[in-house]
């Protein structure tokens, strides 16, 4: 049944947005998209810049790095180097999406489809988000964090707090439990437990660092060492064991750690998340058009914007900045749908389980149970590789030349897929660094061990990070770089006068 | 249930604090940029923002990252001619076209500076940070300068916005009581008699009394609930507020010996001074005196932009300044500051006169007097005379030499650096 178009011109109004949201919501329900309730907020472009700079968080604690980010965004925007994103969406319940007042009505519809139904359903459905974040509590927690940190600033001075935050931010990526599910966070709970925790930690800590030797002395050989097992969550390790931190400093470490944990799923699902939202805005907008709810002009405007978002420059294009997650994700979901609806012989060999299946079951499954790495490993089809002309190269510093390892041909599909999946594996992308030893009886120094991945050394920023770590730990910090069980290099903070002569 | 919320009216600058924190952190860089800007800019565009460059290295937020080296494999799109097993010469830049994640810029060499724009206010803020006019001590009540409005009871007339509802209703009630008191008393008596007559069954009287009571009630009703005479307005009175006031004398040599470059530098110095005063002390007056063989008080426009030539008699300007002080700025009411710029040329017999004038007439009445000599040549008689004055009065007199435009800001800064109150 053809309807009358919802709107003709480009001007939007609250009634139109509401109408649009209802129509899109109804369609989304037909497709079985399960979402949190939406909270759509209309903001100005300068507010969008604010939101940008605070990584999209509606409330955040104060820190100079957000100011830097803001200054940068503002500068680029003023010079016209960068258009602002049409939308920012926050993984919370209700799911908050920002719409800019400058957008035309068509763009508002696009953003509603993209953010309020695409991203929203991803947040609610994907297993990483379900396990690692608590959408109902995040806003409360952010408020708690902001209040706590400003109280610390009042009590201990902005400088003091800032240096702790700087140090924590440097280690933020190492503040994540990768395997253990963390407790859900909630503000009230935090506040209630915070005092209790401060006392408890301090007591336990004193136990660990007791200066009086234990009556029953352990032999050196018997000493299991501390920590018993290597610790990969450095911030957690510091929060619980750093000898000199004040309780409020520990709490700040904890706040940064919780934030890192909250963002951890987003960092692992970029391709999937953006691809999913793009796939759905494309599907929903086309449905609206088919039902006559959008004018020809609107759908053209939508398509122009959609295409520019999906633009993937070739590797030799001056504008090439790596693979566009929107393009890759959208291509993969669209191709999954194609595999279900019009499977070829190739698809039947590669995807026997899903070829010819029902796309409305296959796609949500693929959205729910994977992260970028496993999603690509599982679902990147030969057709997508051919369409994008993907090829993998190996750049080995022991080799004078770069080798093309595999291309989009029959022999290369699996290899390209593995390489691409590896590229999205956070475990490979970030150096593997663990806390392995604390010299409890000697100088209280902390030793970290870096296990090199593919012989890759650490970047020059390492020294600076160690300084931050040293500030938190309070005693010397050593870092050993290992490759195949042999020590490659060490660095120390404070720097040691003479290098480790053998 | 979905909500649509209009947040456009919410406050802007949510990041103002963060921005300020950022600026504070890089104060050193910003101050350097501001000082450079002052020296490079033409004098007419001092009052705008400035771009500040900070090396990206200094701004970096370090994290553990993979460095260059080892073995890395990357997938790129857009293959055209490669087949598996091809070997390609490594392009310059080592990393082989980025790590594919857009993070390459952080680890590469030769990064660009981080550049950002200071607003005009921020620019001035940093320009005059930690500067102050010395010895701003005297306070004097100046009648027509600034006022504060204070509550001063109520009045019977005023503008509707100042209407005091409570007071108005109070007086309305009082008026109603006053006007209706007797009528109400009579009415009460009538009603009493009415009940009596009614009880006695006196029909005629009942009827008459009822008529009368009716009339009284009507009269009561005619008393207005609120009358214009009831209205009361809050009254505010102007009260003068004491202000501390200062006057700045700008003295400049515009004689033939001052070439254009020298004048430019002097102008620049005054401009700084002028901005500084306008900014910090709203209640500051400025007197511009320029001189060659004779001195003249001129407008700001003429002072900076009109041309004149001739010989040099410095004392003429000092004399004029002294006259103006006596005439308009009594020393007990005004903080007086003087700043003089010259190339050091003076009619030789005049220099001791200047020193004498300064020491005997001006220094006793001024808070501070600064002399700026703009020359690359050796100092002449005037400088030597002034030096003696400076040694005798280190608190109130200072002299500095400016050789090239780059000196202007440091000298200015040195002259007006905030001194801790002893």
Q: Are residues B275 and B367 both part of a single domain?
A: yes
* The pLDDT value given to residue B137: 52
3-class state of residue B284 by DSSP:
strand
Q: How far apart are CA B135 and CA B246, in angstroms?
A: 10
Stretch (H or E) spanning B266: helix B260-280
A48: which 2 tokens? 């969008």
Residue to test with chain A: of B8, B26, B74, most A Cβ within 10 A:
B74
Beta carbons of A465 and B64 less than 8 Å apart: yes
B201 located within any domain = yes
Q: How far apart are CA A267 and CA A277, in angstroms?
A: 16
B145 located within any domain = no
* Partners of residue A483 on adjacent β-strands: A486
**The total number of structural domains that make up chain B:** 2
Beta carbons of B77 and A458 less than 8 Å apart: no
A455 backbone φψ class: left, alpha, beta (φ>0; ψ -120 to 50): left
Q: Are residues B257 and B404 both part of a single domain?
A: yes
| Residue in A41, A173, A459 closest to B5 by CB | A41
Cβ–Cβ pairs < 8 A, chains A and B: 280
Nearest-CA residue of chain B relative to A168? Answer: B63
* The pLDDT value given to residue A87: 74
Q: Go through chain A and tell me how many residues it has.
A: 502
* The pLDDT value given to residue B45: 61
ipTM over 0.90: no
| Residue in A323, A401, A405 closest to B84 by CB | A405
Q: Are residues B232 and B266 both part of a single domain?
A: no
Beta carbons of B87 and A404 less than 8 Å apart: yes
B74 located within any domain = no
Q: How far apart are CA B338 and CA B367, in angstroms?
A: 8
Q: Are residues B314 and B366 both part of a single domain?
A: yes
Q: How far apart are CA B390 and CA B370, in angstroms?
A: 10
Q: How far apart are CA A225 and CA A449, in angstroms?
A: 15
| Residue in A71, A404, A461 closest to B65 by CB | A461
Q: How far apart are CA B303 and CA B21, in angstroms?
A: 40
Give the CATH number of the domain where residue B398 resides.
3.40.50.410
Q: Are residues B262 and B400 both part of a single domain?
A: yes
Sign, Cα dihedral of B175, B176, B180, B181: negative
Of A166, A173, A68, A246, the C-alpha closest to A464 is: A166
Residue to test with chain A: of B1, B75, B100, most A Cβ within 10 A:
B75
Q: Are residues B228 and B257 both part of a single domain?
A: no
Of A396, A389, A278, the C-alpha closest to A337 is: A278
Q: Does A465 touch chain B (CB under 8 A)?
A: yes
Q: How far apart are CA B319 and CA B356, in angstroms?
A: 11
Q: How far apart are CA B382 and CA B384, in angstroms?
A: 5
* Partners of residue A88 on adjacent β-strands: A98
- Which residue stretches of chain B have pLDDT < 70? 1, 11-12, 39-49, 57, 92-112, 130-147, 240-244, 277-283, 304-309, 418-422
**Domain ends where: B213, B236, B259?**
B236
Q: Are residues B261 and B196 both part of a single domain?
A: no
Of A135, A223, A169, A215, the C-alpha closest to A61 is: A169
CA angle in degrees (0–180, nearest 5) for A10-A16-A17: 95
A323: which 2 tokens? 């693979």
Q: Are residues B205 and B335 both part of a single domain?
A: no
* The pLDDT value given to residue B136: 54
Nearest-CA residue of chain A relative to B51? Answer: A75
Q: Go through chain B and tell me how many residues it has.
A: 422
A60: which 2 tokens? 């955040």
Beta carbons of A401 and B87 less than 8 Å apart: yes
On the CB side of B22, how many CA atoms lie within 13 Å of its CA? 26
> Are B327 and B340 within 8 A, CB to CB?
no
- Whole-angstrom Cα Rg for chain B: 40
| Cα distances (Å, whole numbers) of residue A487 to A397, A470, A480 | 19, 22, 7
B14 located within any domain = no
B4 located within any domain = no
Q: Are residues B380 and B401 both part of a single domain?
A: yes
Stretch (H or E) spanning A407: strand A401-407
Q: Are residues B262 and B208 both part of a single domain?
A: no
Other C-beta atoms within 10 Å of A49: how many? 24
**Domain ends where: B236, B264, B279?**
B236
For residue A465, which residues of chain B lie inside 8 Å, CB to CB? 62-64
**Domain ends where: B236, B257, B292?**
B236
Residue B174 is part of which domain span? Answer: 160-236
Of A151, A463, A93, A23, the C-alpha closest to B57 is: A463
B202 located within any domain = yes
* The pLDDT value given to residue A206: 65
- How are beta strands A401-407 and A432-438 bridged, if at all? unpaired
* The pLDDT value given to residue B71: 87
Q: What confidence tens digit (pLDDT) does each residue in B117-142 have?
A: 777 777 777 777 766 666 555 444 44
Residues 6 or more apart in contact with residue B361 via CB below 8 angstroms: B318, B322
Max Cα-Cα span within chain B: 132
- pTM for the structure as a whole: 0.71
In sequence order, what DSSP letters do the residues of A36-77 get, joined into one string?
A: PPEEEEEE-HHHHHHHHHTTT-SS----HHHHHHHHHHHHHH
Q: Does A470 touch chain B (CB under 8 A)?
A: no
Stretch (H or E) spanning B268: helix B260-280
Q: Does A78 touch chain B (CB under 8 A)?
A: yes
| Cα distances (Å, whole numbers) of residue B327 to B244, B247, B321 | 19, 13, 10
The alpha carbon of residue B223 is apart from the nearest alpha carbon of chain A, in Å, by: 52
B271 located within any domain = yes
Beta carbons of A173 and B79 less than 8 Å apart: no
Of B135, B128, B131, B130, the C-alpha closest to B394 is: B135
Beta carbons of B77 and A389 less than 8 Å apart: yes
> Are B148 and B217 within 8 A, CB to CB?
no
* The pLDDT value given to residue B279: 67
Other C-beta atoms within 10 Å of A34: how many? 12
Q: Are residues B220 and B326 both part of a single domain?
A: no
- Which residue stretches of chain A have pLDDT < 50? 215-221, 499-502
B305 located within any domain = yes
Beta carbons of B88 and A404 less than 8 Å apart: yes
Other C-beta atoms within 10 Å of B28: how many? 10
Q: Are residues B226 and B253 both part of a single domain?
A: no
φ and ψ of B145, to 5 deg: -85, -75
């Amino acid at each position: 049944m053809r309807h009358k178009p919802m709107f003709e011109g480009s001007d939007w109004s609250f009634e139109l947005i509401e109408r649009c949201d209802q129509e899109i919501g109804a369609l989304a329900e037909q497709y079985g998209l399960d979402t949190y309730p939406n909270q759509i907020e209309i903001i100005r472009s300068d507010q969008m810049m604010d939101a940008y700079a605070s990584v999209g968080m509606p409330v955040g604690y104060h820190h100079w790095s957000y100011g830097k980010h803001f200054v940068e965004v503002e500068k680029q925007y003023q010079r016209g180097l960068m258009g602002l994103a049409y939308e920012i969406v926050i993984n919370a319940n209700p799911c908050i999406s920002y719409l800019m007042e400058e957008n035309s009505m068509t763009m508002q519809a696009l953003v509603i489809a993209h953010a309020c139904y695409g991203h929203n359903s991803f947040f609610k459905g994907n297993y990483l988000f379900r396990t690692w974040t608590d959408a109902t509590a995040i806003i409360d927690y952010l408020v708690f964090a902001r209040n706590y940190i400003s109280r610390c600033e009042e009590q201990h001075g902005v400088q003091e707090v800032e240096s702790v935050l700087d140090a924590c931010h440097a280690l933020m990526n190492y503040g994540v439990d990768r395997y253990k599910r963390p407790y859900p966070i909630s503000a009230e709970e935090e506040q209630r437990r915070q005092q209790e925790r401060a006392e408890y930690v301090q007591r336990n800590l004193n136990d660990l660092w007791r200066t009086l030797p234990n009556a029953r002395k352990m032999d050196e050989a018997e000493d299991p060492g501390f920590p018993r097992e290597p610790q990969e969550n450095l911030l957690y390790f510091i929060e619980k064991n750093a000898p000199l931190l004040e309780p409020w400093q520990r709490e700040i470490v904890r706040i940064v750690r919780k934030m890192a944990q909250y963002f951890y799923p987003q960092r692992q699902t970029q391709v999937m998340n953006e691809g999913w939202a793009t796939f759905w805005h494309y599907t929903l907008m086309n449905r609206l058009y088919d039902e006559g709810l959008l004018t020809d002009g609107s759908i053209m405007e939508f398509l122009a914007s959609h295409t520019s978002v999906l633009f993937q420059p070739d590797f030799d294009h001056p504008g090439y900045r790596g693979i566009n997650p929107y393009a890759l994700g959208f291509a993969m979901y669209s191709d999954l749908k194609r595999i279900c609806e019009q499977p070829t012989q190739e698809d039947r060999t590669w995807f026997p389980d899903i070829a010819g299946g029902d796309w409305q079951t296959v796609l949500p499954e693929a959205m729910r149970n994977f992260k970028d790495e496993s999603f690509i490993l599982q679902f990147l089809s030969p057709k997508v590789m051919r369409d994008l002309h993907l090829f993998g190269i190996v750049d080995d510093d022991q080799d004078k030349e770069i080798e093309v390892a595999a291309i989009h041909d029959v022999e290369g599909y699996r290899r390209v897929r593995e390489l691409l999946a590896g590229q999205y594996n956070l475990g490979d992308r970030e150096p593997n660094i663990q806390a392995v030893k604390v010299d409890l009886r000697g100088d209280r120094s902390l030793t970290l061990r870096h296990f090199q991945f593919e012989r890759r050394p650490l970047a020059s920023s390492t020294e600076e990070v160690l300084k931050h770590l040293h500030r938190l730990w309070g005693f010397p910090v050593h870092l050993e770089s290992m490759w195949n069980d042999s020590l490659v290099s060490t660095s120390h903070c404070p720097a040691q006068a003479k290098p480790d002569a053998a | 249930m979905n909500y649509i919320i209009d947040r456009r009216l919410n406050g802007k600058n949510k990041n103002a604090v963060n921005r300020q924190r950022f600026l504070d952190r890089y104060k050193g860089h910003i101050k350097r940029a501001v000082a450079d800007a002052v020296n490079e800019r033409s004098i007419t565009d001092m009052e705008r923002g400035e771009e500040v460059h900070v090396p990206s290295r200094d701004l970096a937020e370090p994290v553990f990252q993979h460095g260059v080296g080892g073995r890395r494999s990357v997938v790129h799109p857009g293959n055209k001619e490669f087949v598996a097993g091809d070997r390609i010469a490594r392009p310059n830049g080592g990393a082989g076209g980025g790590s594919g994640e857009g993070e390459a810029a952080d680890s590469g060499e030769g990064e660009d500076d981080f550049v950002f724009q200071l607003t005009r206010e921020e620019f001035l803020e940093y320009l005059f940070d930690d500067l102050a006019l010395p010895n701003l001590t005297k306070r004097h009540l100046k009648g027509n300068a600034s006022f504060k409005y204070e509550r001063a009871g109520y009045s019977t007339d005023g503008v509707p916005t100042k209407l005091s509802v409570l007071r108005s209703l109070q007086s309305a009630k009082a008026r109603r009581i006053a006007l209706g008191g007797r009528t109400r008393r009579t009415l009460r008596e009538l009603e009493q008699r009415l009940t009596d007559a009614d009880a006695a069954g006196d029909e005629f009287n009942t009827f008459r009394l009822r008529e009368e009571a009716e009339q009284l009630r009507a009269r009561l009703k005619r008393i207005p609930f609120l009358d214009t005479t009831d209205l009361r307005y809050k009254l505010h009175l102007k009260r003068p507020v004491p202000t501390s006031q200062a006057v700045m004398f700008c003295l400049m040599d515009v004689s033939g010996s001052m070439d254009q470059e020298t004048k430019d530098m002097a102008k620049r110095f005054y401009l700084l001074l002028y901005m500084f005063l306008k900014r910090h002390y709203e209640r500051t007056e400025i007197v511009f005196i320029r001189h060659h063989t004779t001195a003249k008080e001129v407008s700001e426009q003429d002072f900076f932009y009109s041309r004149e030539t001739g010989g040099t008699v410095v004392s003429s300007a000092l004399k004029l300044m002294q006259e103006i002080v006596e005439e308009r700025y009594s020393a007990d009411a005004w903080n007086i500051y003087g700043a003089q710029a010259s190339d050091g040329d003076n009619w030789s017999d005049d220099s001791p006169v200047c020193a004498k004038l300064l020491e005997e007439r001006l220094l006793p009445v001024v808070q501070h007097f600064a002399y700026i000599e703009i020359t690359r040549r050796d100092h002449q008689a005037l400088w030597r005379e002034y030096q003696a004055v400076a040694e005798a009065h280190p608190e109130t007199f200072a002299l500095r030499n400016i050789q090239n435009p780059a000196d202007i800001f440091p000298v200015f800064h040195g002259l007006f650096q905030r001194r801790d109150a002893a």
